[in-house]
Amino acid sequence: MRARVAVLTILISLLAAAAAHAQALPGAKPEQVGLAPERLARISATLRADVEKGVIPGAVLLVARHGKVAMFEAIGVRDPESKAPMTRDAIFRIYSMSKPITSVAAMILFEEGKLTLDQLDEALDVMRMTHP
């Protein structure tokens, strides 16, 4: 559960930062940029489920590929107390930049074929054992 929250937090942080630049990018259907709409829908469904369970109050999801935005949506609320809805232009405070930078580095290595999901899973297992 902790790992899932950490991954979602990283994802939200990265996507929130990317959202600031999304207005300049043209939109496209997921299949036009080589993405599977049903797989993107699973990401959205996971975030919605976490909002409903109270794991996170809300999120901004932005997926872009080849300079085109394939998915951009706001989920949940910005402020749980006031119930103000999340907006696509919401600004999030990032307390530590090491997680987003490390995540982007891992995604770049994965895209270049220098990091596999098995290697990443092994590294996460080691981290879980050393930091319970």
Per-residue pLDDT tens for 11-66?
565 555 555 554 588 999 999 999 999 999 999 999 999 999 999 999 999 999 99
Chain position carrying tokens 């994965």:
110
- Please report, for the chain, the start and end positions of each structural domain, with discontinuous segments joined by +: 2-92, 96-132
Which stretches does DSSP call E strand in 1-132? 58-65, 68-79, 84-85
- With vertex at residue 24, the alpha carbon angle to CA 19 and CA 26, rounded to the nearest 5 degrees, is 100
103 classed as catalytic: no
Q: Give the pLDDT confidence score for residue 114 in this predicted structure.
A: 92
- With vertex at residue 89, the alpha carbon angle to CA 52 and CA 111, rounded to the nearest 5 degrees, is 80
Q: Which of 44, 82, 96, 103 is catalytic?
A: 96
pTM higher than 0.85, yes or no? no
> Is the per-residue pLDDT at 71 higher than 80?
yes
Chain position carrying tokens 């999901």:
117
Residue 54 DSSP SS3: coil
User: Which long-range CB contacts under 8 A does 126-131 form with residues at least 24 apart?
Assistant: 128/3
> Is the per-residue pLDDT at 88 higher than 50?
yes
Task: Identify the band that residue 128 occupies on the pLDDT scale cut at 50, 70 and 90.
Answer: confident
